[in-house]
Structure 1
């Protein structure tokens, strides 16, 4: 199923088609050799530049009915569209129909139309080049051999996680705690613990006892 859609790249309301003499030299075409350009045109109508996928074609149509007069498949790498040597408004198109082809002259009254025509073809060419380069890069990536990082049978992985599981200091043993509690008992023992200071209630009770003794005397 064809999922590509036609896109209109440019529409020019008026263009002229001329019958041209065969090219006699490799130097190119000259519009001045086509006769009176104002009156000797073969056909007049609308020009549309269309694209579909990576294909582009120039369609010459009747302005009133839309009937196709001729189609020029555009190929940037061929002579499908050639500018003449003596004017910026005239071109030679290679039109095709059912396997046959012919060369005709085509021109615009306004230079702005000729400029837009050139820009539309150049933009399409740039787009095709970019797409082909992208496809080429994607193909190169696909063709690159894939590395197998999976573990083979019998292979293992050793992971070192720093100092996890190590103790920074040793806990006091039961004997050490007993030495602190007993005061050591000898000159080489541990320093005995100092008893805690009396509480406020004990101090008040001692003062009260001293006061009572003083009152007795």
Structure 2
């Protein structure tokens, strides 16, 4: 797109004049030029190429380039209006080697000079809007952290019931009350066997002589039940 040329304005008849040096105390005046004898007559084309804007003075029959004027802004040094007429301008032409010179440029009709003003103003308005749009796009896309820039995140974790803090510790030893420790200095006796697993009176439980005496007494009682005849002896015991 930068190599594509867009023609903004064409005027088939323009006049070029040789101008005297610029007065130090005032601007250029077209009345100081020899307007009856122009130095050259030809065609003017205003061409935009990317961000560049060039006024080209060409032969209107062959299209051969007579001079060109790069315009970086308007109003500016490259193209300046005279103080006494709206149809004449001072143009700074430039060759391929960078050498510059100033010439006078005039139109035969005021409408032609008006068209030139409008085309110049529209181009630089468009160029300014394009530059502002590119800057805005770059700012929107620049989402990365700058050098030394950090971010701080404050995270607050809330439990499902809305409470905060540590959960209460579960009791050790399964569900139910706490187990009491055994009494100091003694050993715990094993629990008595259930009736279905109790040994017969003739078979004492090994290692537990205390429970053997208890079983013997139980067996004697079952053999001699308490009756009215021996109840008196039981009470005396």
Task: Output the TM-score relative to the length of structure 1.
Answer: 0.63
Deviation by residue 1:153-191 (Cα, 9 ceiling, x = unmatched)? xxx9x9xxxxxxxxxxxxxxxxxxxxxxxxxxxxxxxxx
Partner of 1:44, secondary structure, is: strand
State how 1:16-55 maps to structure 2 within 5 Å: 16-35=15-34, 37=35, 39-55=36-52
2:100 corresponds to which residue? 101
How many Å separate the matches in 2 of 1:119 and 1:53?
Answer: 19
Between structures 1 and 2, the one with greater helix share: 1
Quick check: 2:90–2:105 contact (8 Å CA) kept in 1? yes
How many Å separate the matches in 2 of 1:89 and 1:133?
Answer: 33
Partner of 1:130, secondary structure, is: helix
Residue 81 (str. 1) matches residue 79 (str. 2) = yes
Residue 72 (str. 1) matches residue 53 (str. 2) = no
Partner of 1:60, secondary structure, is: strand
RMSD: 2.4
How many Å separate the matches in 1 of 2:33 and 2:2?
Answer: 42
Partner of 2:104, secondary structure, is: strand
- Contiguous gaps of at least 5 residues in structure 1: 147-155, 159-217
How many Å separate the matches in 2 of 1:100 and 1:140?
Answer: 39
Size of the aligned set, in residue pairs, is 149
1:152 corresponds to which residue? none
TM-superposed CA distance for 1:3, in Å, is 4.9
Task: Output the TM-score relative to the length of structure 2.
Answer: 0.58
How many Å separate the matches in 2 of 1:86 and 1:122?
Answer: 21
